Amino acid sequence: MSEREGSQREREMSEREGSHGSHPAPIERQLDRMTPAEAMRAGAELDGVHIVHKRERFPVPGTKAERRAERAVALCFVLTFVAVVAFTVIFIAAPWHYSLTDNSYTWFTPLLGLTMALALAGIGVGAVLWAKWLMPEEEAVQDRHDGRSPEVDRQTTVATLVDGWNDTGLARRSVLKRAFGLGVGALGALAIVPLGGFIKKPKDELVSTPWKAGLRLVDMGGRPIRPGDMMPGSLATVFPGVPGGLKAPDAPTMLIRLRPGQTVQPRPGQEDYGWEDYVAFSKICTHAGCPVSLYEQQTGRILCPCHQSQFDVTLDAKPVFGPASRSLPALAITVDADGYFVAKGDYREPIGPSFWERP
Amino acid sequence: MTDPPPSAKTPSRLARLRRRLSGAAALGAVLIVVGVGYTAAASAGTPGGARAATQPQDSVEVRKGRHLYEEGCITCHGMILQGVQNRGPSLIGVGQAAVYFQVITGRMPVARQEAQASRKQPKYTPEEVDQIAAYVQSVGGGPVIPGGNLRDGDLAEGGELFRINCASCHNFAGRGGALSAGKRAPELTPATDKELYGAMLSGPQNMPVFGENQITPEQKRAIINYVQTLKQTKDPGGSGIGRLGPVPEGLVIWIVGIGALILTILWIGAKS
C-alpha cells in the first residue's frame, strides 16, 4: 500500500470517527490489567502512532556480545572523564607564557582544544552507540493528514478565538481600550527612555582637531621635524606637538616629501598649503575613517587598506578609485623661525567620514 | 763717477731677470689654479663623465664592479648611470643601499618590464653584488648600509615603529599586501637584516624612503629586530593560516569547519 493511499484511508477513517487514532480508548478496568509496555502501546495508538515492531538487541540477556557492547559504550564515557582531567591538568600546569627561546607554549591552546573535543566526542559517540547497540530496535509509524485540518476543527477553533475576544468586551468598552493602550504604550517608553543616556550632542569636535596655528609637527617619539630630516619620496606620520596630541584620534597627519619632478595641483584656496616639496594630509580616510598610509612614492597614490580607496597626492589627495568621495583634508604647513615644521592652522574642513550636519 | 754704467747695468739686468722670473711664476700659478679649478668644476658638473673611465686610484672592487655593470646593467641604466628613457632610472645618488637591495634579492636585473620587479634567484654572487654596489657608489654617491650588528635595537620600540610605519602595507605580521594596479608590498619573510636596512634606506620602487634623519639608525635596528623576532615566533593557536588575519581564519571555519559538519550530517543521514 502506498503512502498516499494509506493517508487517504486514514483521513476517511478519522472523518468517520470524528477523532484521531483508529483505536478506541481503553476503559479503566482494562488499564489496570495492562503492563507498562502495553499501556505505552495503547497511549501511542491514541496519538496515532503505530509501533510496527520493537525487539531487544540482545534477546538473551548477559551474553558475551552484550557485555562487549556495554563495555565499549562505558569506555566512551570514561574517555570523557579522562579528557576533562587532562584538560584541567593542562590548563593549570602547561606552560602558556610567551617566550622567545622556548616554544613549548605554542602547544597550550591546541592541547586545550584537543582535550575539549575528546571530552565532547566521548559523550556524543557514547550516547549514539548506546542507542544503536543496546536500546531495543523499534520502528513506528505516525498518522498524518494531508492538506488542511478537518472542517470541524477549523470552525471550532475560530469560534473559540471569537468567543475569547467577545469576553474581554473591548469592542464595547472604548474607555478601557484607550486606557489599556495608553498604559502599554507607556511601558514601551520605559525601554526607550534610558537609551537617551547614550545620546550626546557633539560640540565642535566633529569639525575641529587639536591642530592650531604655530603647533609643531612631531613624530611618534615627540621629536619635531626639520625639512632636512626626510628624503624625497618619503612619508612620516606626524602629530600636533601638544600634550595628548599623540593620542588624539583626529590628529594623525601624513607629512609627505614629494619626489623630484612631482608637483601638486592644489585645490582652490589651498595654493599655499604645502611648503616647497612637502605636503601634509589627514591620515583618516574620508570614507570610513580607516588610517590611509599605504603610500606609493612613485605614483604618488595613497591607498586605504579597508575598502581600497585611492587618493592621488599630485591632485591634492583627490580620490581616484574606490568608495571615498571627498579629498583627504590638507593641513597648511610652514617652517618656523627655529627651522621646524609647524601648522598654519587647523584643517579647513572636517576630517574623516561624512556625517549628517557636515557643511 | 765714470763707471756707474757697469754698476748700474748689473742691477738693471738682474732686475729684468727677476721680473721675468716672477712673471713666469705668476703665469704658472694662474695656469695651475685655472687647471685645477677647471678639473674640479668639470668633475663636479658631470660626475659620471669625469669618472666613467676607471681612475688609476680606484680599488680593485670598483674596477670589477664597473666591469660587471658594463656587462649587465648598462643597457637600461646607461653609460654613466644616467638612466635610459623608458628602460631604467638614473642610478646617480641611489647609493650602495639601493644597489645591494635590488641585486641581492634578484629584483635586478629585471626579467621584463611590469608593474613591479619581484624577488627571484639572484643573478650575482654576494661578492659581485658588493662590487657593483661599490662601483655605483663610487660614481654617484648616496646612502650606504652600515656594517655591524643590524639587529640590536629595542624590541618594543621596534614594534611600535613597525606598526606605525610599515604595517599598513606589509601587514602586521610582515606578510605583505596588495597595492594599486598590480603592485604589492612583498612579504618580509625571506628578507635578511641587511636587505631590510637597505630597503628602508633606499625606498625601492613604490616604497617610501625612510632616511637616517627620519628613522634613526638605532630605530632602524629596532625595527629589524622586531621583524626578525616576529618571523621566529611560533603561532600559539596551532596553524597561523598564513598569518593574514581574520579573512583566512573565517574562510577556514566556513569552508573546512562547516563543510566537515555538513559531510557528517550527510553521512549520518545516509547511514539511517
Question: Of B89, B109, B140, which residue constitutes the final position of a domain?
Answer: B140
For residue A333, what pLDDT band results from cuts at 50, 70 and 90? very high
Whether pLDDT at A62 is above 90: no
State the pLDDT at residue A225: 93
Q: How far apart are the first and last CA of chain A?
A: 77
Q: With contacts defined as CB-CB under 8 Å, which chain B residues touch A299?
A: 180-181, 206
State the pLDDT at residue A359: 59
Which A positions 195-224 lie with beta carbon below 8 A of chain B? 219-220
Judged by DSSP in three states, A235 sits in strand
Distance CA B89, CA B112 (A): 15
Q: B99 is written with which cell numbers?
A: 644597489
State the pLDDT at residue B46: 44
Helices (H), A28-100: 28-33, 36-46, 64-93
Domain, as residue range, for B229: 155-234
Q: What is the pLDDT of residues B136-156, one digit of tens each?
A: 898 888 889 988 889 888 999
Which A positions 236-255 lie with beta carbon below 8 A of chain B? 236-237
Average pLDDT, chain A: 88
Buried b (16+ CB within 10 A) or exposed e, B23-46: eeeeeeeeeeeeeeeeeeeeeeee
Are A278 and A257 within 8 A, CB to CB?
yes
Q: A253 is written with which cell numbers?
A: 597627519
Q: Other CB atoms closer than 10 Å to residue B132's CB: what's the count?
A: 27
Distance CA B148, CA B144 (A): 13
Q: What is the pLDDT of residues B85-103, one digit of tens each?
A: 888 888 888 889 999 999 9
- Give the best residue of B90, B113, B160, B180 to mutate against chain A (max A CB count within 10 A): B180
Whether pLDDT at B213 is above 90: no
Residue B67 CB burial class (10 angstroms; 0-12, 13-18, ≥19): middle
| Residue type present at position A40 | M
- List, in order, residues 6 or more apart from B94 with CB less than 8 Å away: B136, B140, B142, B202
Percent of chain A exceeding pLDDT 70 equals 93
Distance CA A35, CA B135 (A): 105
State the pLDDT at residue A18: 43
Question: Of B115, B140, B165, which residue constitutes the final position of a domain?
Answer: B140
Higher pLDDT, A320 or B38: A320
Q: Cα-flanking dihedrals φ and ψ of residue A247, to 5°?
A: -100, -5
Whole-model pTM above 0.80? Answer: no
Q: Which residue has the cell 493517508?
A: A7
State the pLDDT at residue B48: 41
For residue B162, what pLDDT band results from cuts at 50, 70 and 90? very high
Q: Is A100 on the interface with B (CB under 8 A)?
A: yes
Are B217 and B175 within 8 A, CB to CB?
no
Judged by DSSP in three states, A99 sits in coil
For residue A13, what pLDDT band results from cuts at 50, 70 and 90? very low
Q: What is the pLDDT of residues A286-324, one digit of tens each?
A: 999 999 989 999 899 999 988 999 999 999 999 999 999
With respect to residue B213, please indicate whether it lies within any of the assigned structural domains. yes
Indicate yes or no: CB of B213 within 8 angstroms of CB of A236. Answer: no
For residue B64, the distance in angstroms to the closest alpha carbon of chain A comes to: 30
With respect to residue B133, please indicate whether it lies within any of the assigned structural domains. yes
Q: Is A98 on the interface with B (CB under 8 A)?
A: yes
For residue B74, the distance in angstroms to the closest alpha carbon of chain A comes to: 23
Q: With contacts defined as CB-CB under 8 Å, which chain B residues touch A234?
A: 203, 208-211, 214
E strand segments, chain A:
49-55, 137-142, 217-218, 234-240, 253-257, 278-282, 294-296, 301-303, 310-312, 318-321, 333-335, 341-343
With respect to residue B42, please indicate whether it lies within any of the assigned structural domains. no
Give the CATH fold of the A206-359 domain.
Rieske Iron-sulfur Protein (2.102.10)
For residue B37, what pLDDT band results from cuts at 50, 70 and 90? low
Statement to judge: residues B115 and B73 lie in one domain: yes
State the pLDDT at residue A163: 94
State the pLDDT at residue A85: 97
Indicate yes or no: CB of A232 within 8 angstroms of CB of B209. Answer: yes
Q: A286 is written with which cell numbers?
A: 574620508
Q: What is the pLDDT of residues A121-180, one digit of tens each?
A: 999 999 999 999 999 998 999 988 888 888 999 999 999 999 999 998 888 888 998 999
Whether pLDDT at A7 is above 80: no
> What SS3 string covers B165-228?
HCHHHHCCCCCCEECCCCCEECCCCCCCHHHHHHHHHHCCCCCCCCCCCCCCHHHHHHHHHHHH
Would you kindly state where each structural domain of chain A is located, as residue ranges?
A: 64-135, 206-359
Domain count, chain B: 2
For residue B53, the distance in angstroms to the closest alpha carbon of chain A comes to: 28
Q: Cα-flanking dihedrals φ and ψ of residue A335, to 5°?
A: -115, 130
For residue B34, what pLDDT band results from cuts at 50, 70 and 90? low
Whether pLDDT at B57 is above 80: no
For residue B8, what pLDDT band results from cuts at 50, 70 and 90? very low
Looking at residues A46-67, what average pLDDT do you find?
89
Distance CA A291, CA A285 (A): 6
Residue B185 CB burial class (10 angstroms; 0-12, 13-18, ≥19): buried
Looking at residues A51-80, what average pLDDT do you find?
92
Q: Is A259 on the interface with B (CB under 8 A)?
A: no
State the pLDDT at residue A17: 44
State the pLDDT at residue B11: 54
CA angle at A313 for the pair A312 and A316, rounded to the nearest 5°: 95
Looking at residues A43-49, what average pLDDT do you find?
89
ipTM of the complex: 0.70
Distance CA A293, CA A237 (A): 8
Q: How many angstroms from the chain centroid is the CA of residue A93? A: 33
Whether pLDDT at A20 is above 60: no
Looking at residues A258-282, what average pLDDT do you find?
91
State the pLDDT at residue B113: 79
For residue B164, the domain's CATH number is 1.10.760.10
Indicate yes or no: CB of A234 within 8 angstroms of CB of B210. Answer: yes
Q: Is A298 on the interface with B (CB under 8 A)?
A: yes
- Give the best residue of A298, A299, A313 to mutate against chain B (max B CB count within 10 A): A298
Q: What is the pLDDT of residues A185-238, one digit of tens each?
A: 999 999 888 888 888 877 788 888 999 999 999 998 889 999 989 989 999 999
Q: Is A263 on the interface with B (CB under 8 A)?
A: no
Buried b (16+ CB within 10 A) or exposed e, B227-264: bbebeeeeeeeeeeeebbeeeeeeeeeeeeeeeeeeee
Indicate yes or no: CB of A235 within 8 angstroms of CB of B208. Answer: yes
User: By CA distance, what is B272's nearest residue in A?
Assistant: A132
Q: What is the pLDDT of residues B174-210, one digit of tens each?
A: 888 888 888 889 999 899 999 999 999 998 988 999 9
Distance CA B215, CA B200 (A): 9
Indicate yes or no: CB of B236 within 8 angstroms of CB of A235. Answer: no
Q: With contacts defined as CB-CB under 8 Å, which chain A residues touch B165?
A: 237
Whether pLDDT at A285 is above 90: yes
Q: B101 is written with which cell numbers?
A: 637591495
Q: Is A230 on the interface with B (CB under 8 A)?
A: yes
Statement to judge: residues B198 and B166 lie in one domain: yes
Question: Of B140, B168, B188, which residue constitutes the final position of a domain?
Answer: B140
Question: Smallest Cα–Cα separation from B103: which of B198, B209, B220?
Answer: B198
Looking at residues A109-128, what average pLDDT do you find?
95
